[in-house]
A and B are shown apart, each in its own frame.
Chain A
Amino acid sequence: MSGYTQEYIQEKLTKELEATHVGVEDQSDGCGAKFSVVVVSPKFTGKPLLQRHRLVNGVLQEELKTIHAFSMKTLTPEQWEEQQK
């Protein structure tokens, strides 16, 4: 058991990306090695998908070495609001 908690991933992404919303789902039954995240940040505005994902990868550089499966959705606050309707 050397994984990360949902809260840890959530806090780190929120802080580093000034995210307005971070949803983290631990799909590993608690072993901390499989996550699915949704990140909403104004920092994504005007950036193509690849650059947004690179920002997230950058923040979790160390963690991704041990996380076995990681999937993400990256949205601007505007896109997020649109999705909530």
Chain B
Amino acid sequence: TQVGSKEYFDKLLADHKVVVFMKGTPHMPRCGFSNAVVQILRMHGVEYDAHNVLEDENVRQGIKEYSEWPTIPQVFVNGEFMGGCDILLQMHQNGELIEELQKVGITS
């Protein structure tokens, strides 16, 4: 399958419960918004599959079309698009994130 195609992302998301598309890597985020997502997931002890969109323009553009969401980072849980940094932060603050993670068997 072609990198950045719908099939490509379908497969990626099927392989992991939590998938993050970000700028940089979890060890070295290259943008404050991506860093915020990394920090939140770390606080909840979540293991996830991270993809650096700066490394591949097809992934960077492709994921925006796949999720119909214009910005990076993007967080997916169980194949479903959950949101970007603002949404994750608010869900973290109001407790919804814990609920969503529990639904897929992740306890934080």
Contact = CB atoms under 8 A, between A and B. Distances in A.
18 contacts: A49-B83, A49-B87, A49-B91, A53-B83, A53-B84, A53-B86, A53-B87, A54-B69, A57-B69, A57-B70, A57-B71, A69-B32, A69-B33, A71-B33, A71-B85, A72-B86, A73-B86, A73-B90
A71 B83 contact: no
B81 interface: yes
A85 to B, nearest CB: 17
Given A54-B68, A71-B86, 19 more contacts: A49-B91, A50-B81, A50-B83, A50-B87, A53-B83, A53-B84, A53-B86, A57-B69, A61-B70, A64-B70, A64-B71, A65-B70, A69-B33, A70-B71, A71-B33, A71-B85, A72-B86, A73-B86, A73-B90
B50 interface: no
B106 interface: no
Contacts of A57: 69-71
Contacts of B40: none
Nearest to B88: A49
Nearest to B31: A69
Interface size bracket, B side: 10 to 19
Interface of B: 32-33, 68-71, 81-87, 90-91
A48 B38 CA distance: 23
Contacts of B81: 50
B71 to A, nearest CB: 7
B87 to A, nearest CB: 5
Contacts of A71: 33, 85-86
A66 to B, nearest CB: 11
A65 to B, nearest CB: 7
A53 B83 CA distance: 9
